[in-house]
């Protein structure tokens, strides 16, 4: 038997509540979606369920099952007690470099896993990254995720749904041109890393009309947020935040960058050996840093449509939706596997 104990958050289509198993004292996060708010777009939720059930990775929030009852969908998910990464970023300050590296490695690992399945998240941001008790980072909220590559034919399609959160969106999405799935997620990771290190976002939107973005394109790195960031990391960001998606760093390029293997001492500083070595190396990028927008800016979402997602079934839909409906309530989460915890609410 599961009982709802408290509200964890609210969204456009409903809320997320904490559910407790009264027999085992285990917890799950339940995403409660009001079908009436979907205004006929319930295919979006069905696709989110269809995709999320496929994922098995330590940096992806685990999907346990779902139930449709009356006018609600109930999605049972892994509970991450540490909350959002967003809440760990101090405005105008960020977080220690070693901690940013710890989280960033996990964001990239989770993103790489999604891309290996042909899935683009399309809304990566600190609010959609959760922290578990063991300080493990978990990617969540797959409401805008889509398939861009067939697992059978390996055929890749360009996407035409222009969605996401404006400060984290890539230039090609903002310009409303057909785009590839992988580079848009890579771009968002670069913005997330900047926010973690500085507590700021670099621009409201990546357009030529935006003065902060124009400075970036002109290689003017002597203003906030860029001047707050160490040269080694700026070198990495210069490879990620590239206007042309064809020239943008790939996941393998990010994972092999020097900073990703940098070792910090127990107090979070780099080791003496590394410091001496770094002082002897001339990096090709000068210093810079970033800026936290106000709440209205961070919550700005590019209006999504579902036009390009009508192709999903013919490209790489692996199994029927009906096969994903789970019907047996487990005694505990450890026994859950592919069973449904939602039979008794």
Diameter of the chain by CA atoms? 66
**Average pLDDT along the chain:** 83
Query: What SS3 class is residue 324?
Result: helix
Residue 14 backbone zone (phi > 0: left; psi -120 to 50: alpha; other: beta): left
Angle between helices 231-240 and 181-198 (to 10 degrees): 150
3-state SS, residue 228:
strand
Catalytic positions, please? Answer: 123
Q: Which two tokens stand for residue 101?
A: 């590296």
Q: Which residues pair with 131 in a beta bridge?
A: 137
DSSP category for residue 285: S
CA distance 199 to 94: 4
120, 125, 127, 130 alpha-carbon torsion, rounded to 10°:
70
The annotation status of 31 as a binding-site residue, yes or no, is: yes
Euclidean distance between CA atoms 129 and 91, whole angstroms: 17
3-class state of residue 318 by DSSP: coil
Each of the 345 residues of the chain gets a pLDDT tens digit; together they read 889 999 998 877 889 999 999 999 999 999 999 988 887 778 888 999 999 999 999 999 999 999 999 889 999 999 999 999 999 999 999 999 999 999 999 999 999 999 999 999 999 999 999 999 889 999 999 999 999 999 899 999 999 999 999 999 999 999 999 999 999 999 999 999 999 999 999 999 999 999 999 999 999 999 999 999 999 999 999 999 999 999 999 999 999 999 999 999 866 666 544 544 554 443 344 333 333 333 334 444 443 433 444 333 322 223 332 333 332 333 455 444 444 444 444
Render 239-283 in DSSP notation, one character per residue: HHS-SSTTTSPPHHHHHTSGGGG--B-TTSSBPHHHHHHHHTS--
Instruction: Kindly list the structural domains of the chain, giving each domain's residue range(s) and its CATH number in brackets, ordered by start.
Output: 2-81+322-331 (3.30.200.20), 85-302 (1.10.510.10)
How far, in Å, CA of 46 to CA of 278, rounded? Answer: 50
**188-191: long-range contacts, CB 8 A cutoff, minimum separation 24:** 188/121, 188/123, 188/124, 188/125, 188/164, 189/104, 189/107, 189/108, 189/111, 189/124, 189/240, 189/254, 190/237, 190/240, 190/241, 191/125, 191/167, 191/241
How far CA 19 is from CA of 52, 86, 240, in Å, comes to 19, 23, 39
């Amino acid at each position: 038997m599961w009982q709802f104990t408290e509200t964890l958050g609210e969204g456009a289509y409903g809320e997320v509540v904490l559910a407790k198993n009264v027999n085992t004292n285990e917890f799950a996060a339940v995403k409660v979606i009001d079908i009436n708010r979907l205004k006929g777009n319930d295919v979006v939720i069905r696709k989110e369920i269809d995709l999320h059930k496929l994922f098995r990775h330590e940096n992806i929030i685990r999907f346990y099952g779902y139930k449709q009852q009356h006018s609600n969908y109930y999605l049972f998910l892994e509970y991450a007690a540490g909350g959002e990464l967003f809440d760990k970023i101090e405005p105008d300050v960020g977080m220690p470099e070693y901690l940013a590296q710890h989280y960033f490695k996990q964001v990239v690992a989770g993103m790489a896993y999604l891309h290996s399945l042909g899935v683009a998240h399309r809304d990566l941001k600190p609010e959609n990254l959760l922290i578990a008790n063991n300080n493990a980072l978990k990617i969540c909220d797959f409401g805008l995720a889509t398939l861009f590559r067939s697992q059978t034919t390996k055929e890749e399609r360009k996407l035409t749904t222009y969605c996401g959160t404006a400060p984290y969106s890539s230039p090609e999405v903002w310009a409303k041109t057909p785009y590839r799935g992988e580079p848009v997620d890579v771009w968002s990771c670069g913005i997330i890393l900047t926010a973690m290190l500085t507590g700021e976002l670099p621009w409201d939107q990546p357009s030529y009309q935006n003065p902060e973005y124009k400075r970036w394109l002109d290689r003017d790195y002597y203003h906030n947020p860029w001047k707050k960031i160490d040269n080694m990391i700026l070198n990495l960001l210069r490879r990620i935040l590239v206007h042309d998606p064809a020239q943008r760093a790939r996941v393998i390029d990010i994972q092999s960058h020097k900073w990703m293997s940098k070792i910090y001492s127990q107090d979070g500083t780099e080791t003496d050996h590394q410091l001496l070595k770094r002082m002897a190396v001339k990096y090709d990028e000068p210093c810079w840093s970033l800026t936290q927008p106000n709440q209205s800016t961070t919550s700005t979402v590019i209006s999504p449509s579902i036009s390009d997602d009508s192709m999903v079934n013919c490209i790489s839909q692996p199994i029927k939706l009906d096969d994903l409906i789970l019907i047996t309530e487990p005694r505990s989460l450890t026994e859950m596997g592919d069973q449904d915890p939602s039979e008794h609410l």
